[in-house]
């Protein structure tokens, strides 16, 4: 007879592709996990994993069984959440993934308050780029992501929560320091610092400032940062400018190094995202409400600007 435990073990092994790691994540010994998976294979009379490969990979039959196992586990999880809702209890584990250009500015605003308000909810937070968050949602190793949308992914549900302006951050001695606002066509692509590949904000900047075909640079050295804060520190020392999200600008409120664009307000849409099989509906509603209460009210206004796409 197939058990939920066995289904959890095969999905864990598919996710981590390593017996020891999967066992650790399931809080069991490796022999226990291996034995239960082998027992399931014998009962089904199919080989689920190719153990000759490193890392271990599912067989073609295994892929289909594992996909159905994920569905079964997700549906089973809905029972516990349904009971919590009926009892009006807010508890459980909520696994959240945030992208690096959102996490350092948003997480401190809401996470502590959310935990105080809902002490029986265990928050597990991971920082990752959008593509990894999408994959983790698909594998059910995350419940919800906080990313920039639209994603144009039919497997993902998007729940927009706020819209932050894209602003210019420049060196204190840069000529644009004398201007109250800056036109888009005044941005010199040879002086702009960018985040590294994989960051959606990098793509938004490239799309908005039309930098796709730029191949030269007047910057002192080539550098693609992993964080907005690093870019700002480089600019303070080396010159040039970049674009930053509005929540990042809040930490430098009143700085004369931050400018808006003239005649246009570029926005990035930040959303909660989850799969269609998501079971913790009540928790996601409470999370969305908590975030909306934590950010400045103007960020809730979709009509104050135009959303800049980052994925085609």
Q: Are 274 and 281 in contact (CB under 8 A)?
A: no
Give me the pLDDT at residue 295, please. Answer: 96
Q: Are 5 and 36 in contact (CB under 8 A)?
A: yes
Cα–Cα distance measured from residue 165 to residue 243, given in angstroms and rounded to the nearest whole number: 10
Q: Are 147 and 102 in contact (CB under 8 A)?
A: yes
Cα angle for residues 146, 148, 153 (degrees, 5° grid): 95
**DSSP tag of 17:** -
pLDDT, mean of each 10-residue run, the chain (312 residues): 90 92 92 93 92 90 91 80 66 91 95 92 93 90 94 92 96 90 88 88 89 64 83 91 93 86 95 80 89 96 94 80
Phi, psi of 225 (to 5 degrees): -80, 160
| Model-wide pTM > 0.85 | no
26 to 16, 49, 297: CA distances (angstroms)? 11, 18, 42
- CATH code assigned to 163-267: 3.40.190.10
Domain boundaries, the chain: 4-83, 90-162+268-307, 163-267
Same fold, 90-162+268-307 and 163-267: yes
Phi, psi of 263 (to 5 degrees): 85, -5
Phi, psi of 27 (to 5 degrees): 60, 40
- By CB neighbour count within 10 A (0-12 exposed, 13-18 middle, 19+ buried), where does 213 fall? exposed
Give me the pLDDT at residue 217, please. Answer: 63
The CA-based diameter of the chain, rounded to the nearest angstrom, is 75
CATH-assigned architecture of domain 4-83: Orthogonal Bundle (1.10)
CATH superfamily of 90-162+268-307: Periplasmic binding protein-like II (3.40.190.10)
Burial letters 238-248, b for 16+ CB under 10 A, else e: ebbbbbbbbbb
Cα–Cα distance measured from residue 47 to residue 241, given in angstroms and rounded to the nearest whole number: 56
């Amino acid at each position: 007879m197939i058990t939920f435990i066995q289904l959890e073990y095969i999905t864990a092994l598919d996710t981590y592709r390593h017996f020891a790691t999967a066992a650790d994540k399931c809080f069991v010994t490796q022999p226990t996990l291996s034995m239960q998976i082998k027992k399931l294979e014998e009962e089904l009379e199919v080989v689920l994993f190719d153990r000759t490969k490193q890392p271990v990979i599912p067989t073609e039959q295994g892929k289909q069984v594992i996909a159905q196992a994920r569905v079964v586990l997700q549906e089973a999880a809905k029972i516990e959440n349904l009971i919590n809702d009926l009892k009006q209890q807010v508890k459980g584990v909520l696994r959240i993934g945030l992208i690096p250009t959102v996490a350092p500015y948003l997480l401190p605003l809401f996470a502590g308050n959310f935990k105080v308000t809902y002490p029986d909810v265990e928050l597990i937070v991971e920082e990752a780029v959008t593509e990894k968050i999408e994959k983790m949602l698909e594998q059910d190793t995350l419940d919800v992501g906080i990313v920039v949308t639209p994603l144009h992914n039919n497997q993902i549900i998007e729940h927009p929560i706020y819209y932050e302006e894209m602003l210019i951050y420049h060196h204190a001695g840069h000529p644009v320091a004398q201007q109250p606002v800056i036109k888009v066509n005044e941005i010199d692509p040879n002086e702009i610092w960018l985040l590294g590949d994989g960051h959606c904000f990098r793509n938004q900047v490239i799309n908005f400032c039309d930098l796709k075909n730029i191949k030269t640079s007047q910057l002192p050295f080539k550098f693609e940062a992993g964080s907005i804060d690093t870019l700002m520190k480089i600019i303070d020392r080396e010159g040039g400018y970049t674009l930053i999200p509005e929540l990042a600008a809040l930490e430098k409120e009143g700085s004369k190094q931050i400018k808006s664009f003239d005649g246009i307000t570029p926005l990035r849409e930040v959303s909660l995202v989850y799969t269609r099989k998501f079971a913790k509906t009540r928790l996601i509603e409470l999370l969305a409400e908590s975030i909306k209460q934590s950010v400045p009210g103007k960020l809730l206004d979709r009509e104050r600007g135009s959303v800049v796409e980052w994925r085609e």
